[in-house]
Copies of this chain bind each other. A is one copy, B any other.
Amino acid sequence: MNKTVFIKIALILSLVFSGLIHADDGKKYRWRLAETWGPNFPIFGDATKNMAAMVKEMSNGRLTIRIDSSNKHKSAFGIFDFVKTGQYQMGHSASYYWKGKNFNTMFFTTMPFGMIASEQYGWFYYGGGMELMKEVYDQYGIMSFPGGNTGNQMGGWFKKEINSLDDLKGLKMRIPGFAGEVFAKLGAKPTNIPSGELYTALERNTIDALEWVGPSLDLRMGFHKIAPYYYTGWHEPGTELQFMVNQKAYESLPKDLQKILTVAMKAAAYDMYSQTMHESGVNLAKMTEEYPNIKMRSFPPKVMDAIRTANTTLLNEFAAKDPMTAKILKSITSYQKKIRAWTNLSDRAYLNSSEQK
């Protein structure tokens, strides 16, 4: 054998192996995700871990995502900017936290008197919701995706009972999103506070009341010890969290990793809703059995009427100010009307008849 033969052997061996490589360029992508939540935060934090684990296994380690909780990046409400600037490739938070940056981000979490989770997923994936969200977020170079649903949220923990509209006047309450706007219109003083600071704020009377999530996550926060009145919900019927991805980082991924990432985010979001249902059932039972001092209440009808009126007035005001707001609200309102007719004929009728046995 001469040199030429050896060169041929070397080339053939190389080609045999390179032929097996096809689209996988062997490059490893190491991403970072910043989340609003503290470390080991249940359910919300499980959603990011679940997503990252799926991505790692499906990509065989080609894409790994390190999760930084708020103790690490020190900016619970800085997620939007982290992802926009590319400081983090990904974020996990809630779209309505950005209402100060762009009012229209708010409609992609939940709305007072809005859709429940099953209805809203219909809207996101089959009713035009994803397209509208893209229209709002594109200008920031951010891709936004559903990030897990908390289910129907409880109305919150109050130190004092709410018997009339007067009791809302001057009330300092942690309540984000559009519900905060509604409470402000009724004379309350709404604010947003990161989860890690909520208990202290309530204890030190920085706030008089707060809403957090529901039985799935509230018990471990200890609010019941200092604010025993627990109100049923109206303001967040299907709160969807949010995965954010930096557009340029996404585009730098090969097509198969892009798909792995989007499918993992979608599955993790849906999973979080199932986990929320589970934890709500388990913890509500615990609450009922072990915490007899929690006082369950609903707002009196007159208060609810005023809340509903304030909500409608505000929606009309905001829609008149911005065509994009009007466009989103039109989509939500007409979709909700159709899909609610079905929910009423199916699940609602079924649940009501089950209680009449």
Contacts of A116 in B (CB 8 A): 347, 350-351
- Segment at the B interface, from A22-30, A163-171, A174-182, A197-205: A22-30
Q: How far is the CA of A308 from the CA of B274 in the complex (A)?
A: 28
**Of residues 341 to 357 in A, which have CB atoms within 8 Å of B's CB atoms?**
341-355, 357
A291-314: CB near B (< 8 Å → 1, else 0) gives 000000010000010001000000
Q: Tell whether, in the assembled complex, residue B60 and residue A263 are in contact, meaning their CB atoms are under 8 Å apart.
A: no
The reply to whether the CB of A91 lies closer than 8 angstroms to some CB of chain B is no
Give the size range of A's interface with the partner.
35 or more
Q: Verify if A326 is at the interface (C-beta below 8 Å from B).
A: no
Which of chain B's residues have a CB closer than 8 A to the CB of A349? 232, 298
CB <8 Å contact, A342 and B215: yes
Number of copies: 2
**Does A335 belong to the interface (CB within 8 Å)?**
yes
CA–CA, A254 to B113, complex, Å? 48
The answer to the question of A250 belonging to the interface, with a C-beta cut-off of 8 Å to chain B, is no
Please give the distance in Å from A135's CB to the nearest CB on chain B. Answer: 20
Q: Is the CB of A151 within 8 A of B256?
A: no
Q: How far is the CA of A348 from the CA of B16 in the complex (A)?
A: 62
State the 9 A-B residue pairs at the shortest beta-carbon distance, nearest first: A20-B26, A6-B6, A281-B339, A152-B346, A126-B278, A10-B10, A17-B17, A122-B277, A122-B278
Residues of A at the B interface (CB closer than 8 Å) are 1, 3, 6-7, 9-10, 13-14, 16-26, 54, 57-61, 113, 116-119, 121-127, 151-152, 154, 214-215, 232-234, 237, 254-256, 259-260, 263-264, 266-267, 270-271, 273-275, 277-282, 284-285, 288, 298, 304, 308, 335, 338-355, 357
Name 10 interchain pairs, CB-CB below 8 A, sorted by A. Answer: A6-B10, A19-B26, A57-B256, A58-B260, A118-B277, A122-B274, A122-B275, A233-B346, A280-B342, A285-B341
